[in-house]
Structure 1
Amino acid sequence: MPSPQHLLLKQFLTAATAPLSRRRPTLAAMRLSLEMASLGQFMPWGVHLECFQLEGMAAEWVRPAPADPRRVLLYLHGGGYVLGSLNTHRSLVGALAQRCGMYALAIDYRKAPEHPFPAALDDALLAYRWLLRQGYRPHDIIVAGDSAGGGLTLALLLALRDGAGPLPAAAIGLSPWTDLVLPTATIRRVAHEELQFLEALAIRGWGGQYAGSAPLTEPLVSPVRAALHDLPPLLLQTSDAEVLYDDVLTFAAKARLAGVPVTLQTFAGLVHWWHLFWRVVPEARTALDQVAAFTQGIWAAQEAAARVVRAARASAKPAKTDLRPRARL
């Protein structure tokens, strides 16, 4: 059963979104409201923030103290490909970086409808390649994102696998949006819940704005419709009360059948974007701790594999032969 803190959050969000059922606000108004709501979020204590321009794109380095500077989390924020920014997700990225003990790079990729597909994917590829040019090795990078950012994370993996570059060590999807088609059956499942029903109607429209001239079934738009072989280990988190729940389960099952190591963690009764409220919702803190455990497992597996390789190389070296002449008896 969800915590009392989550129940209060859900009541607040339901009240805040009630006007949407009577009058649909403009996209500009929704963006502004989300930015204003983010003013109450703060970076965790002990996390340093550096804002800069990454080849013309706004970006932020998030550096906890202490952290391993050799490893980095590339974070892609959510928002249905039309909302969200560095401001709206700064606190979440800081909390993740701090728990994982690694640097994080967050980018403000271009959003629809002004910049439809493949603009966001191109920006994600740009940031990933920039990290490689900075000296980060692919196996020292983990890519993560929530909601649409989670879908973008998976699309980035597909693009890299199919020739755009080397794959990262792993990827994390927090309630990832994997199917922009959003089947009618999904909407029917949440029709009794006003908050989720409004979300379903909204993101169905946003999906079309993001896809632009591309079909919604394009694999780099809806990753669940792609061939999912040869991907790195994945962590997927979702709640059974979310609109995207069915699609996440479908993606996880399909990826496992393709031989991809998938860690699927499900939560009960939580609203979409519950991770953003990690300061007040205990389930969010639990989820972030599980993300940290996953990343630590990735690094531990790498170190174990490196030890095996070193041991194999040492045992393969030929024994030194003593060629010195021996004294006659």
Structure 2
Amino acid sequence: MVMADRPGVATASAPVTALTMVGLADSMLNGLARVPFRRFWQGPGGLLDNVGQSVTRQAVRSFMGYIVGLPIEEFRSMEKVLDELCRTVIPPFIHLTDDVEVTDDEINGVPGLWVRSRASSDAFVDDDAQKKTIDGTILYLHGGGYIGTTPMMYSAFAASLCSGTGCEVFIADYRMAPEFPFPAGVHDAADVYRGLLERGVDADHLVIAGDSGGGGLATSLVTYLSEIGAPRPAALALFSPEVDLDLDHPSITDNAKTDILPWNVPVTPYLHGVSPDDTRVSMTKAEPDARWFPPTFVTWGADEMFRDPIREFVETLRAADIEVMSLEERGMFHVFPILMPWAESSHEVYRELDEFVDRHVTPDPAAVPTH
């Protein structure tokens, strides 16, 4: 279920949606036409990485710049069209490249997608003795600044996580702003977490992960779970997390020219009157409890707008004696492992994450698929 399919969510008419898609294509083509005039071959990596980075940065920047100015009903309709396109294209592709399956499910009333190895599935392996062991379960909270994107748009990245870590991945389709501001998304994520435990997943084999706004939501979820007395997850994995909604750090303006994010990052729709200094939404303001906060993996780009708050977040965890594996990549922008999976910097992130998960998630020989 995408946001456009939820009751009470306004959408645009078919003609307006068509015009919105035409406008998006025009914006992206216009942006890409500028790439040859911006020394696209220069950068910290090899020639192919530099070219790929320049093209990706401009394409995503053009996309972001266009969508933040749309009326919400047009945004939701466009999001639905893009989700349907991804649903057609991505699953067959990742079946070939990562040998995974993608299936819909609902956990405690929250829809989402399972991404898991076909070698561990009843649909592809009849003999239980021949099935691949599930090493753990990842609850993934997708990015989108708390307002947009869908689980299917993240299925290719989830397939990479699945292949590398040996874990099955559930991408939660949590409610988003402005229709459902804070704390709706946190409550949905908590419902999924509890639902996974009810299905037999041991907290010692459960990893919470997320990127961008989903990364910020993951930290809010960890705080909320501690408040309600839920079992602690085995680990937390974050990719360019949005951990401070004040947006007042120097890198927010200093890196605006090198990042993919729009200069006017929207946070008001999500906060809906809640102070950006509230520790429930800005982890940099919190005092995490080392007795409960899980070991944490964090990666980000040195050229991204969220660089400084992420650095502060990492230091906050270390000051509280919480184990942190941090990886800042020179010359990289926001969520680069997702947008540039072919880059050497992304490969390094995948390798470090796989080792981190191996250290903190002990495979359960008795684990069975949770869907």
Q: TM-score, normalised by structure 1?
A: 0.82
Asked whether the equivalents of residues 3 and 281 of structure 1 are also in contact (C-alpha less than 8 Å), the reply is no
Instruction: Choose from 74, 79, 88 the match for 1:31.
Output: 79
Per the alignment, residue 190 of structure 2 pairs with: 125
Q: Does 1:260 align with 2:322?
A: yes
Asked whether the equivalents of residues 136 and 361 of structure 2 are also in contact (C-alpha less than 8 Å), the reply is no
Return the letter of the residue paired with 2:277. Answer: T
Listed one character per residue, the Cα deviations across residues 167-212 of structure 1 (whole Å, up to 9, x for unaligned) are: 101100111110011105233312444x54x5231x2x2x111111
Aligned 1:108-119 pairs, distance under 5 A:
108-119=173-184
5+ residue gaps, structure 1, are: 304-329
* CA-CA distance at 1:147 after TM superposition: 0.9
Tell me which moved more, 50-59 or 175-184: 50-59
Q: Does 1:297 align with 2:362?
A: no
Aligned 1:266-277 pairs, distance under 5 A:
266-277=328-339
Per the alignment, residue 50 of structure 1 pairs with: 103
* CA-CA distance at 1:19 after TM superposition: 8.0
Asked whether the equivalents of residues 277 and 284 of structure 1 are also in contact (C-alpha less than 8 Å), the reply is no
Return the letter of the residue paired with 1:224. Answer: T
Distance (Å, rounded) in 1 between the aligned partners of 2:345 and 2:207: 23
Per the alignment, residue 349 of structure 2 pairs with: 287
Per the alignment, residue 302 of structure 2 pairs with: 240
Instruction: Choose from 254, 259, 281 the match for 1:221.
Output: 281
Distance 1:92 1:111, change over 3 A: same
Distance 1:283 1:46, change over 3 A: same
Asked whether the equivalents of residues 97 and 104 of structure 1 are also in contact (C-alpha less than 8 Å), the reply is yes
SS class of match (2:134): strand
* CA-CA distance at 1:140 after TM superposition: 1.1
Distance (Å, rounded) in 1 between the aligned partners of 2:101 and 2:68: 38
Listed one character per residue, the Cα deviations across residues 98-123 of structure 1 (whole Å, up to 9, x for unaligned) are: 10011111111111111100011001
Per the alignment, residue 268 of structure 2 pairs with: 208
Return the letter of the residue paired with 1:103. Answer: E
Listed one character per residue, the Cα deviations across residues 122-170 of structure 1 (whole Å, up to 9, x for unaligned) are: 0110010001101111111011111111111111111112234111011
Distance 1:155 1:52, change over 3 A: same
Return the letter of the residue paired with 1:252. Answer: V
SS class of match (1:48): strand
Return the letter of the residue paired with 2:325. Answer: T
Instruction: Choose from 51, 58, 68 the match for 1:8.
Output: 51
Q: Does 1:169 align with 2:234?
A: yes
Asked whether the equivalents of residues 74 and 105 of structure 1 are also in contact (C-alpha less than 8 Å), the reply is yes
Asked whether the equivalents of residues 240 and 299 of structure 2 are also in contact (C-alpha less than 8 Å), the reply is yes
Distance (Å, rounded) in 2 between the aligned partners of 1:258 and 1:246: 19
Return the letter of the residue paired with 1:258. Answer: A
Instruction: Choose from 313, 316, 337 the match for 1:251.
Output: 313
Distance 1:183 1:96, change over 3 A: same
Distance (Å, rounded) in 2 between the aligned partners of 1:82 and 1:131: 25
Q: TM-score, normalised by structure 2?
A: 0.73
Distance (Å, rounded) in 1 between the aligned partners of 2:220 and 2:308: 18
* CA-CA distance at 1:219 after TM superposition: 1.1
Listed one character per residue, the Cα deviations across residues 78-115 of structure 1 (whole Å, up to 9, x for unaligned) are: 11011111111000011101100111111111111111
Distance 1:189 1:36, change over 3 A: farther
Distance 1:279 1:192, change over 3 A: closer
SS class of match (1:275): helix
Q: Count how many residue pairs are aligned between Structure 1 and Structure 2.
A: 297
* CA-CA distance at 1:37 after TM superposition: 7.6
SS class of match (2:250): helix
Instruction: Choose from 220, 223, 228 the match for 1:155.
Output: 220
Distance 1:52 1:272, change over 3 A: same
Asked whether the equivalents of residues 49 and 60 of structure 1 are also in contact (C-alpha less than 8 Å), the reply is yes
5+ residue gaps, structure 2, are: 1-43, 121-131, 365-371
* CA-CA distance at 1:279 after TM superposition: 4.4
* CA-CA distance at 1:276 after TM superposition: 1.6
Distance 1:23 1:90, change over 3 A: closer
Distance (Å, rounded) in 2 between the aligned partners of 1:233 and 1:278: 26
Asked whether the equivalents of residues 199 and 243 of structure 1 are also in contact (C-alpha less than 8 Å), the reply is no
Distance 1:192 1:15, change over 3 A: closer
* CA-CA distance at 1:223 after TM superposition: 1.5
SS class of match (1:199): coil
Higher CA-based Rg: 1
